[in-house]
């Protein structure tokens, strides 16, 4: 039931753009590290070309993806149809972090909503695109985006966020550097 192609087709791009949530997975090298899998939302994912994607990364409790991409670049994105025709879409690739202030970040930031607490933009070159049936994924209706993260970031303010990232986001749970 799985089907693999080399690029994101126009139909798959339309599917991606209709989703309210996506998942990002990464892992460190070696057998002892922790695999990371994080749900994301808030209109933070963009298809830049048939082989390149990016997502706006907001301050959170960890920064595992940054550590893993810095170490080995491997990343997988997954989208699930929670309504309509069932489908699961996975994008496999190699990614990197574009940091605020860099020319790449400046070029990409206008493609995303202006949200408080932006930490970086992850960019990935996609090497494999795979769909599968999604028959076991439940049907769910989107109600709304949560506003807790936006409120928390506004309350912290730029200085509070910088202090939080320094304290909580400098290394991964496996003690790998994030920048």
Domains of the chain, residue spans: 3-168
Q: 3-168 maps to which CATH number?
A: 2.30.110.10
CA distances 48 to 86, 119, 132, Å, are 25, 20, 23
pTM to 2 decimal places: 0.96
Question: Nearest Cα to 2, choosing from 134, 95, 158?
Answer: 134
Q: Binning pLDDT at 50, 70 and 90, where does residue 1 land?
A: low
CA distances 94 to 26, 31, 70, 144, Å, are 10, 20, 10, 31
Sign of the dihedral through C-alpha 145, 173, 36, 73: positive
Residue 2: what pLDDT?
85
Mean pLDDT of 63-76: 98
């Amino acid at each position: 039931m799985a089907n693999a192609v080399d690029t994101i087709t126009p139909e798959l791009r339309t599917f991606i753009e209709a989703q309210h949530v996506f998942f990002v997975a990464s892992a460190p090298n070696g057998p002892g590290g922790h695999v990371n899998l994080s749900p994301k939302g808030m209109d933070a994912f963009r298809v830049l070309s048939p082989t390149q994607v990016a997502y706006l990364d907001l301050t959170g409790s960890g920064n595992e993806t940054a550590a893993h991409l810095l170490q080995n670049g491997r990343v997988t994105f997954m989208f699930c149809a929670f309504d309509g025709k069932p489908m699961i879409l996975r994008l496999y690739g190699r990614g990197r972090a574009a940091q605020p202030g860099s020319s790449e970040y400046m070029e990409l930031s206008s493609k995303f909503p202006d949200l408080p607490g932006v930490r970086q933009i992850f960019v990935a070159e996609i090497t494999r695109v795979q769909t599968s049936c999604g028959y076991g994924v439940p049907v769910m209706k989107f109600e709304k985006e949560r506003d807790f993260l936006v409120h928390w970031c506004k309350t912290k303010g730029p200085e509070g966020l910088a202090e939080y990232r320094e304290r909580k986001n400098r290394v991964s749970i496996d003690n790998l550097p994030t920048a």
